[in-house]
Amino acid sequence: MRHFEFPSRAVSVGSNGMVATSNPQAALAGLDVLRAGGNAIDAAVAIAAMLAVVEPTQTGIGGDCFVLAKKRGQPPIALNGAGWAPRAVSADHLRDAGLTSIAADNVNAVTVPGAVRAWERLAADHGTMPLAALFTPAIAVAEHGYLVTERLARDWALNAAKVSATPEAREIFMPGGQAPRLGDRRTNPRLGRALRSIASDGADAFYTGWIAEDIVSALRRRGGVMTLDDMAEYAPEYVQPISTEYRGYRLWECPPNGQGIVALQIASMLNAFDLSAYRALSAERFHLQAEASRIAYAQRDAFLCDPKFHPVDVKQWLSAERVRQWVAQIDPDQRNAHLPLVPMPEHKDTVFIAVADADGTVVAFINSLFDDFGSGLVASASGVLLHNRGCGFSLEAEHPNEIAGRKRPMHTIIPALLTKDGEAVMSFGVTGGHFQPAGQLQVLSNIVDYGMSVQQAIDHPRMLARGDLLELERTVPESIWDDLRAKGHSPVVATNPLGTCHAIWVDQSRGVFLGGADGRRDGMALGL
């Protein structure tokens, strides 16, 4: 039970459905779909479309998505909606041009956006309502306007230079040369037209029609090598979810090319320690989670890639022997100073959607532009803001994640499901690029190891350890900073709140949904 005298959020409750995401208008769009008789898949797609309009810093139809879903009595399914690099891209050519990494605003950072085909596939296979109905709320706000929320206004202002760098982006996102303030109204009628085309003609409007031509033309004008064939031949794919046990529960993730395996590695290592023996907010707990995270991220940065181009042996990565080897590297009293360091670009901006319906379907859905406002490049006729997911590739020769044509980059966005006795008990996700695996385990541990409510678990102070970096949120007491320094860490203040989490806990015995939303963004959880 929370302390009602202190500022905090209440857990949302419902018995006929629940939505949780980062924007109130998007949450209401999903709830309206459930009220109209749609299922959890329908609601998730409607929310994703709305977020593509009202949170342009985080997501859009020019990005990628991953989905985990589970129906009652059935195994989880996973859909990989990560786009691929253009066939003509060349790592050698980029290195010859003097590049050692792919910058956020480089045209080669734009891979084929995978989200729209993934939405269509998911809705067709598992939904009950047509895209036209699911897109209607998003089209309305694109054409007639939405009000800018508090965190959105903050992030927009911080990225004013980025969306002023090209005339196409400036015209849509910086009219008059000013970022919007809290409560200002914004529109994107060109995006509204694109959404209308997709609603009417399906994803082909995006991948083979006028929107594809608009995207390819915008990139080619800036020296990109994407073609209409790269767009037209892309398709999402169903993949086999991967999982591991955590304290009697089973944690499910999407397989590589996503980094969900990193969350499973961290969980597997933490299973060797009784975290509940320490306070939830303590240097001892943070140290153990930091060391497990550092080991898992080092493995990720060295080996994780598109398994169609280089094998990623999930069973070996999660084998009992491998986990024992990692755990042996963790000293409960001292930081390991000898882990390998592999540089990776920073990336942090994503939206997560959790939905559950009365029929027992639970959905974890994540969509992203990669950086704030993605690449900053806009296809002018359609108003589509293009992601820069190609930043996740390596330019190191023969690295497993080296960029190549029709290859998908190492992906940071990861939805998660938790099951017990074969049934879903939680849909959750934590945005924030690199932070996502570590963040998921912090939220999960808060609930399983410390008995927190889903909302308390989200509100709890966070940390991120990767390589030599240990970031702490400002809410972490100074005494813990001192104790972490004594263990060999050099903690620094996180420049931004560490990720945002939205989650739905399913109380199977009572048929009740308990939802949590993150105050680090403008999140909302609503139940029926």
Catalytic residues: 350
The dihedrals phi and psi of 185, each to the nearest 5 degrees, come to: -100, 135
CA distance 483 to 254: 36
Nearest to 19 by CA among 36, 44, 48: 44
Determine contact, residues 242/261, Cβ cutoff 8 Å.
Answer: yes
Q: How far apart are the first and last CA of the chain?
A: 22
Please give the sequence-ordered ranges of beta strands (E in DSSP) within 200-265, or none if there are none.
237-239, 242-246, 249-253
Q: Is-contact 193 103, C-beta < 8 A?
A: no
Query: Can you read off the two tokens belonging to residue 12?
Result: 């949302």
User: Which neighbouring-strand residues pair with 418?
Assistant: 251, 426
Q: What is the CA radius of gyration of the chain?
A: 22
CB 487 within 8 A of CB 335: yes
Structure tokens at 467: 């390589």
* Residues 64, 44: Cα–Cα separation, whole Å: 15
Dump strand ranges (E) for 228-348.
Answer: 237-239, 242-246, 249-253
Query: CA angle, corner 425, sides to 419 and 430, nearest 5?
Result: 90
Residue 86 near residue 107 (C-beta atoms within 8 A): no
* Contact assessment for residue 259 and residue 410, using Cβ atoms and an 8 Å cutoff: yes
Burial of 137 (0-12, 13-18, 19+ CB in 10 A): buried
- Structure tokens belonging to residue 138: 């998003």
